[in-house]
Amino acid sequence: MNALSATFHLTHHCNLRCTYCYTGEKRPLAMSYDTIDQSIAFIEKELAKLKANQLHITFFGGEPLIEKEKIFYIIDAFAKKDGLKVDYRMSTNGTLLTEDLMQKLYAHGVFVSLSIDGHPDVHDVHRRDAGGKPTSHKVEKAAEIMLRYNPATNVTCVLSPDTASQLCESVDYIFNLGFRYITTTLDYSADWQVEHFAVLKKSYQKLSRWYIEKMKKNERFYLSFFDERIRSRTYKPLAAHERCLIGTKQFSIAPNGELYPCIQFVKTDSLPEFMIGHVNSGFDPACRHHLNEQSEKEKPECRGCRLESRCSKWCSCINFMSTGRIDQASPIVCYNEKILIEIVDKTADKLWKSRNNHFIHKHYNEDYPIISHFEITL
């Protein structure tokens, strides 16, 4: 089944001022209804070209709930397309979410994910509002609402150098709020130093003990830092066609209608070298080809590394955030993966040697993700 993935960046505006945000200055520049209609027409043409009958739509910003009416406008427009299967996702900071709004999003089939960095002392370090006030109390309220409607709600947790020591405590806090799908990621734009990674290593070791304890208790959960890397050893590493090949499997639509290969390239100030087209004129094939060529270039800095096939050096967006280039592997990724994979492998070995039934079921049963999802949501 052919599928197309598109992200609507509904606005450059946001009510938060997260210190690590990569989208540039926050300004009330929203996607107009004319641009939305042009974007829908463009997507329809691409669906026809691909002979695709499945569409993945993501709503992004800025903070997409600032333009919540446009979310439902887009959903209603695609609902009129016969024979098209559409699913919707949205990432939010949670501070504008209400019970009524969550109920409406749920009724329209929008899978909502939440950004939360950990317990309040951690979250409020980098995720404050436009007036400099903490936001953790609002996010906790949003979490309660979201989990009532979807117990499988995903959380994205960003780790910075100054919060690295609190990783395990933050994951545990998020888990105790009720979340079972936790996506952890580093702030790849931060100034990570050797001493920060020394602290991070201790946090990974502590998180390893947490992970083992949860496995012993047969807890159902997904923790990206550990589970993705266990998968890269249990199964084959991602093949080229499974990766996000820049600008081919998905694209982002900026508020002004410009097309970019991924969310990290949509900024308040345009990046013309990464603009792969416009909804009015379509894709620029030469630009797409050039970006793919750059992204797939061999990275000599990775040659000979035993972890090369398991790390995320192929992710152009991470490379860009860290180095400003898509053809150069991020040194932050390199340093982090060498530390993390060693600890994760030892964790997996301990659970395997102890014949932990839940661990074996989780990582050697291909149906586990589906089974686990139903067990969590029922």
Which of 238-242, 262-266, 276-280 shows the highest mean pLDDT?
Answer: 276-280
pLDDT at res. 47: 94
280 alpha-carbon distance from chain centroid: 28
> Angle at the Cα of 178 (from 176 to 182), degrees rounded to 5?
90
Amino acid at 271: L
Kindly give the interhelix angle for 167-177 and 194-216, rounded to the nearest 10 degrees. 40
Q: Which domain holds residue 202?
A: 3-242+335-377
Q: Does residue 100 fall inside a structural domain?
A: yes
Whole-number Å distance between alpha carbons of 259 and 237:
30
Question: At a CB cut-off of 8 Å and minimum separation 6, what does 198 contact?
Answer: none
Q: Tokens in use for 183?
A: 């996506």
pLDDT at res. 24: 87
Q: Does residue 257 fall inside a structural domain?
A: no
Q: How many CA atoms lie within 13 A of 330 on its CB side?
A: 26
Q: Does residue 69 fall inside a structural domain?
A: yes
Pair 244, 315: CB distance under 8 Å:
yes
240 pLDDT above the threshold of 70: no
Domains: count for the chain: 1
**β-bridge partners, 129:** 16
Q: Does residue 288 fall inside a structural domain?
A: no
Summarize the confidence of residues 245-271 as an average pLDDT. Answer: 88
Which residue, 160, 82, 164, is CA-closest to 126? Answer: 160
Place of tokens 């920060």: 196
* CATH number of the domain enclosing 69: 3.20.20.70
Q: Does residue 277 fall inside a structural domain?
A: no
What is the per-residue pLDDT across 206-238, written as a single tens digit (0 to 9) for each? 999 999 999 999 999 999 999 999 998 888 765
Q: Does residue 346 fall inside a structural domain?
A: yes
What is the per-residue pLDDT across 269-319, written as a single tens digit (0 to 9) for each? 888 899 999 999 999 999 998 888 888 888 888 888 888 888 877 788 888
259 pLDDT above the threshold of 80: yes
What is the per-residue pLDDT across 111-158, written as a single tens digit (0 to 9) for each? 999 999 999 999 999 999 999 999 999 999 999 999 999 999 999 999
Q: Does residue 261 fall inside a structural domain?
A: no
Phi-psi region of 317 (alpha: psi -120 to 50; beta: other; left: phi over 0): alpha
What is the per-residue pLDDT across 68-122, written as a single tens digit (0 to 9) for each? 999 999 999 999 988 899 999 999 999 999 999 999 999 999 999 999 999 999 9
Summarize the confidence of residues 24-31 as an average pLDDT. Answer: 92
Q: Does residue 123 fall inside a structural domain?
A: yes
Whole-number Å distance between alpha carbons of 180 and 157:
13
Summarize the confidence of residues 17-44 as an average pLDDT. Answer: 95
Summarize the confidence of residues 312-341 as an average pLDDT. Answer: 88
Q: Tokens in use for 190?
A: 């931060």
Pair 65, 96: CB distance under 8 Å:
yes
Please give, one letter per residue, the 3-state secondary structure of the chain.
CCEEEEEEECECCCCECCCCCCCCCCCCCECCHHHHHHHHHHHHHHHHHHCCCEEEEEEECCCHHHHHHHHHHHHHHHHCCCCCEEEEEEEECCCCCCHHHHHHHHHCCEEEEEECCCCHHHHHHHCEECCCCECHHHHHHHHHHHHHHCCCCEEEEEECHHHHHHHHHHHHHHHHHCCCEEEEEECCCCCCCHHHHHHHHHHHHHHHHHHHHHHHCCCCCEEHHHHHHHHHHHCCCCCHHHCCCCCCCEEEECCCCEEECCHHHCCCCCCHHHCCEECCCEECHHHHHHHHHHHCCCCHHHCCCCCCCCCCCCCHHHHHHHHCCCCCCCHHHHHHHHHHHHHHHHHHHHHHHCCCHHHHHHHHCCCHHHHHHHHHHC
Mean pLDDT over the full length of the chain: 92
Parallel/antiparallel/unpaired status of strands 258-260 and 250-253: antiparallel
